[in-house]
Homo-oligomer: A and B are copies of this chain.
Amino acid sequence: MIRLVLAAAALAAVAFVTPASAGNTPQEEANKKVVVDFYDKAINQKDFEAAKVHFGPKYIQHNPQAADGPEGLKAFVGFLKSKFPNYHSEFKRVLADGDFVIVHVHNRPNPGDRGRAIVDIFRLENGKIVEHWDVAQDIPEKSANDNGMF
């Protein structure tokens, strides 16, 4: 039940932060839901077994710190579970174009951390995740503007 509530909250958050998504195709909308569920299960719930149902026949990894394939993500989730059990990414916006889904999140390794801004890009084939890129940047203490990184 807790998982269901979390997933529903994640999807509600996506609907809230992406008002411009009215032009998405049904496949793009479906792809967004797949990526949000995958991300939430893997990163926030740290439940690799629940997340892995979304993998296609391959998982091409471009994050230079992770090994290629599903096993690389499995190892990362295990690392989070043991070292950063409260590691959490808050969805800021979820966008889709064709086979690509782009996720902009506020990541906090520990509660109260200033955290990092991350953009993940996923590529899907037939509604399954097959490739991943990401870019991460620490949120600085001071900024030249008052708008925040999100």
Look across to chain B and name the residue whose beta carbon is closest to the beta carbon of A141.
B64
Q: Does A5 contact B (CB under 8 A)?
A: no
Contact between chains at B64 and A145 (CB < 8 Å): yes
Q: Which residues of B contact A133 (CB under 8 A)?
A: 104, 117, 149-150
**Contact A66/B100 with A118-B135, A135-B119, A149-B133 known, Cβ cut-off 8 Å:** no
**Contact A64/B150 with A24-B97, A145-B72 known, Cβ cut-off 8 Å:** no
Q: Does A112 contact B (CB under 8 A)?
A: no
29 contacts between A and B (CB under 8 A): A18-B98, A19-B98, A20-B98, A22-B98, A24-B97, A60-B147, A62-B147, A62-B148, A62-B149, A63-B145, A64-B144, A64-B149, A65-B144, A67-B144, A68-B144, A68-B145, A68-B147, A93-B100, A95-B100, A95-B121, A96-B97, A97-B102, A104-B135, A117-B135, A119-B135, A135-B135, A135-B136, A135-B137, A136-B137
Starting from the known contacts A61-B147, A119-B121, 11 additional A-B residue pairs (CB-CB under 8 Å) come to: A18-B97, A23-B27, A60-B147, A62-B145, A62-B150, A68-B145, A104-B133, A104-B135, A117-B133, A135-B135, A137-B137
